Structure formats: C-alpha cells, structure tokens
Amino acid sequence: MSEVILDELFAEARKAADSAYVPYSKFRVGAALLTDDGTVIIGCNVENRSFGLTICAERTAVAKAVSLGFRSFKALAVSTPDSVTPVGPCGACRQVLSEFMDPSAPVIFAGSGSDSVKTSLGVLYPYDSLHELGRT
C-alpha cells in the first residue's frame, strides 16, 4: 500500500479524533479504516463515566463499517493528538480487528509529535488464536 494512501488515511483518523467524546480522560482518539472497495470509515472514542462502557475509536469504526455492510478492511490508521508519542490499538481492539483484517494489513498510528509507527496487524497481534487454530 502506498505511503500516500496511508497518509491520507491517517489524516482522516486525525479529523475523526476531533469528534471524540472524552469529558473524563481528555484523551481523544480517532481511527480510519480502509475497506476493500476503497471506502474510508471513521470512528472516535466515546467515553462513559463507567469507564468499562467506554468504546475505543477503532471498535467504533469497525462497528460502523459492519453496520454499513463492510466485512473486510485493508488498512487502519489511528491518531492520538493528545499524546506526543504514538499510541497503538489496545488489546481488545486488536482482537476485534483480527476478525476483519488480514495479518498483513498495514496499521499506522501517531500522536501529535513527529514520530509515527507503520506496522501490520500481524505484528501488533502476532498470536491470533482464531487464525492460528485454523492452521493446525
């Protein structure tokens, strides 16, 4: 996947972070998923005073995409503008993403600083039991 496409996807994730509902943590996160047909689906984190009910930006984007009929994603971008350093998807998001993305799918994440991480879902989630069991 080209750097230009990943940069454009990250720009969408950055815009999505502006919609985050974060009255408690003040930590905005935006995500952008690229579907197989080139559609970009965005999501943001939505907090709740009962933190266990908070939903991450990545899972918001997945739920939105699935509700629109998409089932396969080619790439993910995550923006955390309230952190100088890049912050990757949490374990729960990695698990959900593995349901819909190939391990080779590119993932980019960055904060407000100049550093970014460009990797793949398989590197982020190397022992995906669902897919590993299918190989045995």
Task: Please identify every residue annotated as catalytic.
Answer: 58
Q: CA angle 17-61-8, nearest 5°?
A: 60
pLDDT, position 1 = 85
What number is the average pLDDT over the span 21-27?
97
Environment class of residue 69 by beta-carbon count within 10 Å: exposed (0-12), middle (13-18) or buried (19+)? exposed
Cα 126 from Cα 122, distance rounded (Å): 5
The full set of domain ranges for the chain reads 3-135
pLDDT, position 133 = 59
Q: Which two tokens stand for residue 107?
A: 């993932």
Q: Is the dihedral of CA 122, 128, 132, 134 positive or negative?
A: negative
Q: Which two tokens stand for residue 100?
A: 């819909």
Q: Count CB neighbours of 43 within 10 A.
A: 27
How far from each other are the two terminal CA atoms of the chain, in whole angstroms? 30
The fold for domain 3-135 equals: Cytidine Deaminase; domain 2 (3.40.140)
Each residue's pLDDT tens digit, 58-103:
999 999 999 999 999 999 999 999 999 999 999 999 999 999 999 9
Would the pTM of this model clear 0.95, i.e. be above it? no
Q: What is the mean pLDDT of the chain?
A: 94
